[in-house]
Structure 1
Amino acid sequence: MRFKSHLITVLFVFFLLVTVGCTSKTSGAINEGNESSPDTAANTTNESTNEEPAPEGKTEVVFWHSMGGKNGKTLEKMIQDFNGSQEDIHVKPIFQGSYGDSLTKLKTSLQSSSGPTIMQSNFISSGPMIDTKMVRPIQDLIDAEGYDLSQLDQNVLSAYEMDGQLYSMPFNASTLLMYYNKDMFEENGLDPNNPPQTYEELEEAAMKLTGEGKYGASFSVDSYFLEQLFTVQGAELVNNGNGRQDLATKSFINSQEAIDTFTWWKKLVDDGLMLNLGTNTEDTHQAFLSEQVGMTLASTAGLTNMLEGSKGKFELGTAFIPYPEAKTGAGGVSVGGGSLYIMNNKSEAEQQAAWEFIKYVVGAEQQGHWYINSGYFPVNTDAYELPEVVETLAQFPQFETAINQLEVALENNAGSNAGKGPVLGVYPDARTITVEALEKVLNDVQSPKDALDEAAEEITKKIARYNQTVQ
């Protein structure tokens, strides 16, 4: 089984130092989520820490989160509403910075009870979080209560299921979309309601959009983006069922799907059809919003910002992420974002109180509110029937693209681990190496195959070292 390991605290401290240390190397290394990443909200400063003690007689639940800015305010309003809705529990939110910052702080609390009751963590940290043996499987609480999971998005749940159970509860979910400028499409003889679906169609569209200082596209050199372009082709990133059937032992980053994607990406840049702005996702998105480029990639969590940034300038379009014509997109997209863990070093009363809060925030009403105000799509599908959500979708049809893409992904992912995403203890390391590989290709240092072969070998070595700590 994937997580039958005997990791002790000191070893977790070691690999957290490695994990968090590598996340500062490139913006692509810390993506999705989601720091300088598609989910840009996680990296925005939020000064509120709500350090006031819980009212007397209430069970206090300390909640460490990484939602800043508008998303942080939305989350804290949800917490205030929960605290006022009953008399027994008081949730205290504490913003801990990015997901990487939060993990750094968690490692210092492992030897004591000073840490959180609930920890928000991003998807790429699923393996390390579970390997700590410090989390209470959410499945325990689900089974004890007979909690109905049918109301939750099955595609999202499948991403977080390990060994047939949920260790955490999905909360802020997102996927990758292609964004395009409908006005630029129309001005250049392209159908604004028929965006490109394949690599080949995107290249053809980029040829028409490029000229007079403008480019067809600009994609940030971002590992999350690359993973999704591989995943939509049905490619797994590591062996052993993408690390879900057993500990991964080998990287598949040098798959033919990856080689084809690197080759296509480089050709677009070399032909002057794609503006390469490196690893800074914010620069790429700004180039798109300033109408310097016609197409870009970004998370669904950035849709609200994209709508605000394009307002009064051009009509924003959203589309599925592209795939090679020879493929079918059979893998579907994988889910990004974060989930909520309950730490097992707290009292049973605190853990039960944490469970009550988690059920509240994944309820249909709260998920609808979260969706409208944050851009993360609801993990509770009943939220789509709420009048305010129906109204939002009618007003902003761009939101529907993510929903439709997920439905297609769920259909295509039957029996496949590709679209569920990899479970990998050295995930942040692997992302850094993947970004460096593409940079070598774009800078004519190595061919796509040589760069990816070298990357796969390096990632595989890191996996072996990690596995030694958990076995």
Structure 2
Amino acid sequence: MNKPKRNLKKAILSSLCFTLILTGIIGCSSNNTSSPKNANEPSETNATSAPKEKVKLEFYYGLGGKLGETMDKIIKDFNSGNERYEVVPIVQGDYGETLQALQASLAANKPPALAINGYPEFMKLANSEVLLPLEEYIDQPEYNKDDVLLLEQGKYKDATLGVPAYVSTQMMYYRKDIFEKYNIDYDSLESFEQLAEAAKLIKEKEGISGWSIMWYGEHMIDYARSTGGDIVSEDGKTVTIDSDEWIYAWDNIRKWIHEDKIMDTVYGGNGWEWWYKTIDNVMNGKSAGYTGSSGDGGDLDFSKMATGMQKGFNGSKPRPVAVSVMFNLFKSSPKEQQQGAWEFVKFFSEANQTASWSVETGYIPIRNSAVETEIYKNKLKENPYFSIPLEQAKTNGIPPFVDPTGGKIYAEIDLAKDKVLIENVPAAEALKEAKKKAQAELDKVLKK
């Protein structure tokens, strides 16, 4: 900042004194050296300097509804309490749009300081070698990494490239009044096929959809793995998404939606629009239940709704994924922004903070110690269903598939999902085509 010239300064002071004398407030002299300066008084330079501007930290994420509202509040709390950094939210429509925005910013060499990514999106970024290794941060004692759930999911090859923001597992939500009306005890249902029988009864009696299937690849993977299927063979060399187990689960769902019409799926729209419309349909009595995320807890009315664990198919045990949604930092960000982004990650990851996030959203907190907080315990007293996602994750949860192609196998599964759920293409046809393309991508990796 340039200092004003001395003569100009005197003129301003003289004018100010004259004005104050006329109003009878004070008398003064334009000679600022006429009285000795107090040793404790700040210098002219310091007194006239503006406060140092905070370091801006762009933060990309795609969260809607209660999730977005809760994240916004946490960011404001961080900004108001931190004198050095200011998080600037750059809100996207969903995880997919966040990835697209990140890819564009990285291509322009203008990455944000921080982002939240779903697991498939994290894998794509990890494979492209743009993410910052985080060992120097997570090894700091104040982070207490031994208290963090699923920290291992952030490892890619030999480095930790992401840390959990929150943990998700896919739950079953249903209308208590409708199930009770027809004496359907959700917990006593032994399989997804039995749930389909209940859906058929509800459709016949109520004229509404008996169950809603989310237009979501992770759910369709859960169904296949809960039939005994896997994405690749044990030796990691063969893609197995066209196996009998996958075809059985996916084609039954296709038939229940398109042929029997006892289930439905909502698709399309902007961002998470299809997700929230599915929830609205259940809340408004157009559907008796749906498969959703543990993170839906903040948007549901539990005077009407109940939470259940996933069901297996064809006599198999349910195997839902318990997955970490990741915080990611970027190699090409300035060092000061990397440090500031980590300050926000630590803030978000404190036991009380992650417990509060869990209470507001329904997601599983990332710290073991969070369940011992008063915030978490009080929520359990208010809503006993609140503990079911964590129980499912610990009882039946399995890790997500680590895609060695950097997400290309996941992408083929997602395309096949659209064909089955939307276009009514037989599962065998859709999955065999997806397997062929995914296998070609896997072969490229194996040859390196």
Instruction: Please give the TM-score of this superposition, normalised by the length of structure 1.
Output: 0.73
Give the aligned residue type for 2:210.
G
Among 192, 201, 211, which residue is 1:208 paired with? 201
1:436 aligned onto 2:424: no
Aligned to 1:129: 125
Partner SS for 2:292 = strand
Contact 1:195 1:319 in 2 (8 A): no
Shift of residue 392, structure 1, vs aligned partner: 1.4
Among 296, 304, 311, which residue is 2:290 paired with? 296
Partner SS for 1:110 = helix
Give the aligned residue type for 1:347.
P
> Rg larger in 1 or in 2?
2
Shift of residue 59, structure 1, vs aligned partner: 4.1
1:426 aligned onto 2:408: yes
- 2:372 and 2:124 map into 1 onto residues whose CA distance is 36
Aligned to 1:219: 213
Shift of residue 223, structure 1, vs aligned partner: 2.0
Among 387, 409, 418, which residue is 2:374 paired with? 387
Cα 1:96/1:135, change in 2 over 3 Å: same
Contact 1:425 1:463 in 2 (8 A): no
Aligned to 2:262: 274
Contact 1:221 1:438 in 2 (8 A): no
Aligned to 1:106: 102
- 2:430 and 2:108 map into 1 onto residues whose CA distance is 44
Aligned residue pairs total: 390
Partner SS for 1:150 = helix
**Which structure 2 residues correspond to residues 360-379 of structure 1 after superposition, within 5 A?**
360-379=347-366
Partner SS for 1:175 = strand
Cα 1:233/1:356, change in 2 over 3 Å: farther
1:95 aligned onto 2:91: yes
Shift of residue 367, structure 1, vs aligned partner: 0.6
Give the aligned residue type for 1:343.
F
Between the two structures, name the one with larger relative contact order (CA 8 Å, sep ≥ 6): 1
Shift of residue 361, structure 1, vs aligned partner: 0.7
Shift of residue 241, structure 1, vs aligned partner: 6.8
Contact 1:251 1:459 in 2 (8 A): yes
Aligned to 1:317: 306
Cα 1:61/1:451, change in 2 over 3 Å: closer
Contact 1:168 1:341 in 2 (8 A): yes
Contact 1:239 1:252 in 2 (8 A): yes
Shift of residue 111, structure 1, vs aligned partner: 5.2
Among 372, 385, 389, which residue is 1:398 paired with? 385
Q: Which runs of 4+ in 1 moved over 6 A?
A: none
Partner SS for 2:171 = strand
Shift of residue 137, structure 1, vs aligned partner: 1.4
Among 417, 435, 439, which residue is 1:456 paired with? 435
Partner SS for 1:293 = coil
- 1:159 and 1:77 map into 2 onto residues whose CA distance is 27
- 1:198 and 1:103 map into 2 onto residues whose CA distance is 36
Contact 1:122 1:339 in 2 (8 A): yes
Cα 1:241/1:341, change in 2 over 3 Å: farther
Contact 1:151 1:381 in 2 (8 A): yes
Shift of residue 119, structure 1, vs aligned partner: 1.9
Shift of residue 55, structure 1, vs aligned partner: 6.2
After superposing the two structures, state which structure 1 stretch, 66-75 or 222-231, moved more: 66-75
Aligned to 2:60: 64
After superposing the two structures, state which structure 1 stretch, 74-83 or 266-275, moved more: 266-275
Cα 1:56/1:175, change in 2 over 3 Å: same
After superposing the two structures, state which structure 1 stretch, 107-116 or 117-126, moved more: 107-116
Give the aligned residue type for 1:395.
E
Partner SS for 2:438 = helix
- 2:96 and 2:200 map into 1 onto residues whose CA distance is 39
Give the aligned residue type for 2:416.
T
Contact 2:168 2:293 in 1 (8 A): yes
Cα 1:55/1:254, change in 2 over 3 Å: farther
Cα 1:157/1:274, change in 2 over 3 Å: farther
Shift of residue 95, structure 1, vs aligned partner: 2.2
Cα 1:98/1:222, change in 2 over 3 Å: closer
Aligned identity (percent) is: 22
Shift of residue 389, structure 1, vs aligned partner: 1.8
Among 166, 170, 185, which residue is 2:179 paired with? 185
For structure 2, which runs of at least 5 residues remain unmatched after alignment? 1-49, 268-273
Cα 1:436/1:462, change in 2 over 3 Å: farther
Give the aligned residue type for 2:282.
F
- 1:68 and 1:427 map into 2 onto residues whose CA distance is 27
What do residues 303-342 of structure 1 show as CA deviations (whole Å, max 9, x unaligned)?
A: 22232xx75xxx311111111252123xx32135631111
Contact 1:364 1:380 in 2 (8 A): yes
